[in-house]
């Protein structure tokens, strides 16, 4: 992951670089985790293990919302401690996992609300909910209870990681994720939490949740075949401006929790047969204009890796010249409708009906084998669709309109889920709907 965000508003703290010191990497990731309420002031700890066995780790009893680089503690391979603060009380847990898994170089331990909910009912989120979650996290593990900060906790967690898990729920405690570096551990942490949140929201809808089969997971992998290459040309001023604008909205989508770092594709039409799209494998919270991929005449610029959704976006642009921007995203509430086969009833809110019309549900297999079927499912008159086990797809005349529709769709979905705790859903009367349709020429 790489990138220095330059969008309007507060910049995202994550700025990764091959030569970023461990102190800064830990601080930046902890700031992101704390900012998005995936841990508390006193909870959570991160670490990085260097090749020589040294471990950099967050300190004990220091405000996670105001962590400084000087707070980070270095624990040498021989046990010597260097730093202004004592190391995290969970140091034994980190050390035990590193001993059990020599391939692990980064660990995240925290108490995000959704995963804590699973931990206190002794369940593990099933990452087969989304093909991206399965690819990033694999199956989740479960470690039995042991006192926080104890060597016993380190032993039971390490034993679970030794079985091959990379994401482990701690009984009545929280979660630990690990990876080949701290960035990989964070991606798993965020994706695992997102999966848990979506399952909770889907259960609130009262419908059976649909998980992906082995065959469907294989089908999703087949979408990864690369596009033919296009020789890059010097970017025009229009292309440069569109790259800037698209990046700003991608970062905004991340800040609004409409994207997570591992999921979400955003594109914008550049010409009759070309468009810009987010790349594959790049952190959505820190994407740069230069990292966007130009796709023209079905070919991607040489040396790039466009989003897996590029073929779908091309089919939609080819079919609908009026569409100027497309978003694939997995915002939690709207995604809950797609994994439970529920209908986002836009007849309940005037703005929702006007902005979204009536989103339909597109089957999972069609998303990967029939791009044209998705092109048929959306249009200027039907600008949004719910994707089975794959979030949502929204379109617009430009980037702003597509983004607005994404926000409205997620807000509508959240309101409909919350309404179930308040009372019986009361859609607008038919005469009111007809009036809206006439007034706004729907």
Task: Note the pLDDT of residue 356.
Answer: 97
Query: 384-387 and 360-362 as β-strands: parallel, antiparallel, unpaired?
Result: parallel
Contacts 24+ apart (CB under 8 A), 27-33: 27/67, 27/68, 27/69, 27/71, 27/72, 29/108, 29/182, 29/183, 29/186, 30/58, 30/64, 30/67, 31/65, 31/67, 32/186, 32/285, 33/64, 33/108, 33/110, 33/186, 33/189
Closest CA to 115 of 9, 183, 196, 55: 196
Give the global pTM.
0.93
Q: Residue 19: is its pLDDT beyond 80?
A: no
Q: Given this model, what pLDDT does residue 18 score?
A: 60
CA 13 – CA 31 distance, rounded (Å):
7
Give CA–CA dist 302/331, Å, rounded: 31
The tokens for 302 are: 């040489």
Q: What's the order of all strands across the beta sheet hosting 73-75?
A: 81-82, 73-75, 55-57, 45-49, 106-110, 174-179, 167-170, 141-143
Model confidence at 2: pLDDT above 80: no
Q: How far apart are CA 58 and CA 32, in angstroms?
A: 14
Q: What secondary structure does DSSP assign to 349-385, as a single string?
A: -HHHHHHH---EEE-HHHHHH-HHHHHHH-BTTB-EE
> Residue 232 has what pLDDT?
77
The mean predicted confidence, pLDDT, of the chain is 92
**229: enclosing H helix or E strand:** strand 229-230
Q: What is the mean pLDDT of residues 294-320?
A: 92
Whether 329 has a pLDDT exceeding 70, the answer reads yes
Residue 229: Cβ within 10 Å count: 12
- The arithmetic mean of pLDDT across residues 274-282, rounded, is 94
Residue 288 predicted with pLDDT over 90:
yes
Name the band, by pLDDT with cuts 50, 70 and 90, for residue 378: very high
Quick check: 146 pLDDT over 80?
yes
Residue 6 has pLDDT above 80, yes or no: no
pLDDT digits (tens, 9 = 90+) for 23-81: 999 999 999 999 999 999 888 999 999 999 999 999 998 999 999 999 999 999 999 99
* pLDDT tens column, 193-217: 999 999 999 999 999 999 999 999 9
Structure tokens at 307: 């989003």
pLDDT above 90: percentage of residues in the chain: 85
What is the structure's pLDDT at 223?
Answer: 62
- pLDDT score of 225: 63
Write out pLDDT tens, residues 89-103.
999 999 999 999 999
Whether residue 4 is predicted with pLDDT greater than 60 in this model: the reply is: no
Average pLDDT over residues 270-295: 94
What pLDDT sits at residue 224?
Answer: 57
- List the structure tokens of 326: 């497309």
For the cut 80, the answer to whether the pLDDT of residue 124 exceeds it is yes
Helix, strand, coil shares, percent, the chain, to 5: 45, 15, 40
What DSSP element (H or E) covers 403?
helix 399-419
Is 37 in a helix, a strand, or coil? coil
- What pLDDT is stored for residue 326 in this prediction? 98
The share of the chain scoring above pLDDT 70, in percent, equals: 95
Confidence of residue 406 (pLDDT cuts 50, 70, 90): very high
Map tokens 């995963």 to a residue.
115
Q: For residues 144-155, give the mean pLDDT.
A: 97
Rounded Cα distance, 265 and 402, in Å: 12
| Main-chain dihedrals φ then ψ at residue 356, nearest 5 degrees | -105, -15
* Strand blocks (E) in 248-288: 265-269, 274-277
């Amino acid at each position: 992951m790489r990138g220095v965000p330059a969008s309007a508003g507060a910049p995202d703290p994550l700025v990764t670089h091959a030569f970023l010191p461990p102190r800064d990497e830990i601080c930046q990731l902890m700031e992101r985790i704390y900012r998005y309420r995936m841990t508390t002031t006193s909870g959570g700890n991160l670490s990085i293990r260097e090749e020589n066995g040294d471990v950099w780790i967050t300190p004990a009893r220091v405000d996670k919302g105001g962590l400084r680089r000087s707070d980070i503690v270095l624990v040498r391979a021989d046990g010597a401690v260097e730093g202004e603060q004592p190391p995290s009380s969970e140091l034994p847990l980190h050390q035990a996992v590193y001993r059990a898994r020599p391939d692990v170089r980064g660990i995240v331990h925290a108490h995000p609300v959704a995963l804590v909910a699973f931990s206190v009912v002794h369940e593990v989120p099933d990452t087969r909910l989304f093909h991206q979650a399965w690819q990033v996290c694999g199956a989740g593990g479960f470690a039995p209870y042991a006192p926080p900060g104890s060597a016993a906790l380190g032993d039971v967690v390490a034993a679970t990681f030794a079985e091959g898990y990379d994401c482990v729920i701690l009984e009545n405690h929280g979660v630990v994720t690990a990876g080949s570096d701290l960035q990989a551990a964070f991606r798993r942490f965020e994706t695992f939490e997102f999966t848990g949140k979506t399952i909770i929201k889907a259960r609130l809808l009262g419908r059976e949740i649909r998980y992906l089969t082995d065959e469907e997971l294989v089908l999703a992998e087949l979408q990864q075949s690369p596009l033919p290459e296009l020789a890059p040309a010097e970017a025009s001023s229009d292309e440069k401006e569109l790259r800037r604008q698209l990046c700003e909205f991608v970062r905004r989508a991340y800040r609004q929790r409409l994207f997570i770092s591992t999921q979400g594709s955003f594109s914008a039409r550049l010409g009759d047969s070309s468009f810009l799209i987010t790349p594959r494998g790049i952190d959505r919270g820190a994407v740069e204009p230069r990292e966007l991929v130009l796709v023209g005449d079905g070919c991607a610029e040489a040396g790039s890796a466009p989003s897996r959704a590029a073929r779908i976006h091309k089919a939609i642009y080819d079919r609908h010249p009026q569409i100027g921007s497309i978003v694939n995203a997995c915002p939690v509430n709207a995604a809950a409708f797609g994994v439970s086969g529920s209908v986002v009833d836009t007849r309940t809110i005037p703005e929702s009906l006007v902005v979204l019309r009536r989103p339909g549900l597109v089957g999972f297999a069609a998303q990967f084998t029939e791009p044209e079927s998705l092109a048929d499912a959306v249009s200027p008159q039907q600008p949004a669709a719910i994707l089975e086990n794959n979030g949502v797809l929204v379109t617009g005349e430009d980037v702003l309109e597509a983004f607005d529709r994404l926000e409205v769709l997620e807000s509508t979905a959240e309101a409909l889920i919350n309404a179930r705790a308040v009372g019986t859903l009361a859609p607008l009367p038919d005469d009111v709907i007809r009036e809206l349709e006439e007034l706004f020429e729907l």
